[in-house]
Amino acid sequence: MFLTHLRVEAGLAPLTLEAYERDIRDLFEDLSARGITSLEAVKPEHLFEHTRFLSKERGLEPNSIGRHVVTIRVFFRYLHSTQKLAVDPARLLERPTKWKKLPHVLSPVEMRRLVEAPTSEHGELWIRDRAILETMYASGLRASEVGALRLNQFSETAGAIHVVGKGSKHRMVPVGEHALRWIGKWLSESRANFVQGDEVRSDHRLFVSVRGKPLERVAVWQLVKRYAAIAGLSKTHPHVLRHSFATDLLRGGCDLRTVQEFLGHSSVVTTEVYTHVDRSKFNEVLRKFHPRVA
């Protein structure tokens, strides 16, 4: 009922609903392990213990814990407002302090090792894998956005991709020369072998699985992790490619607003974190532009 309420009344996106469901499941499993088997028995101290469990035992980052807390507060507020609970035990639960953590990025040399990792030795989908890695780095796409791309969202003539991101927000993102070449190679040489003419099964997706079905977000994660290991790179996941894309644009002189549009951020504040990543040019900029720095 709660998830139906979020989908129908709040209009939340499918991926957001999945996150809410995971968070509630985690809460129930933790409460059950503590011997709490009914919602009426949940007290504020149990929820405080749960957040400590997420931090100490699960080792989650403050941002992830904050999302869990939001889910818990919305869930119990819903139960209270629909008179399923007389008291809201989450009313005093506060989100943890959100520290700005600098994103991990790969250098251009490391990125080249990653995108060039797929070869014919790595299976029949290696051309697709190369095209995906090139596209993610060239356009800064999220893992879910890569899997959701349809054929009609890619324009070789315009050299761009029409992306539907979080909150069903639309944006046009240019695709670089290397990504264009590998997407073209995938479409002309390989994709038909897996789709086998069944576009209903493939849902007209640009990238498909070995069985010709839409590519799930988790498959994109596994793909990136696999080739990162082959390239000898640690701490690398799909968002690292997105971080590296944004950082390299700013390093090359692109303005913050344009990077914001490419990433699909609703606020430029979210994008500003990338201005703190590359400090290598600070002294050079000061010497060039500041009148009191020799």
Catalytic machinery residues? 142, 166, 239, 242, 265, 274
Is 52 in contact with 99 (CB distance < 8 Å)? Answer: no
Distance CA 141, CA 242 (A): 6
* Pairing relationship of beta strands 170-174 and 154-155 according to DSSP bridges: unpaired
Enter the DSSP assignment of 190.
Answer: I
Question: If we measure between CA atoms, which residue out of 273, 246, 251 comes closest to residue 261?
Answer: 246
What is the DSSP code (8-state) at residue 150?
B
CA distances from 160 to 28, 226, 247 (A): 44, 27, 20
Helices (runs of H) and strands (runs of E) counted in the chain: 15, 3
Query: 44: exposed, middle or buried (C-beta count within 10 Å: 0-12, 13-18, 19+)?
Result: middle
Q: How far is the C-alpha of 213 from the C-alpha of 217, rounded, in Å?
A: 13
Quick one: 209 exposed, middle or buried, by C-beta within 10 A (0-12, 13-18, 19+)? Answer: middle
C-alpha distance across the termini of the chain, in Å? 66
Q: At what angle do helices 44-56 and 62-81 cross, to 10 degrees?
A: 160
Q: Choose among 188, 147, 151: nearest CA to 14.
A: 147
Question: Which residue reads 């499993």 in tokens?
Answer: 29
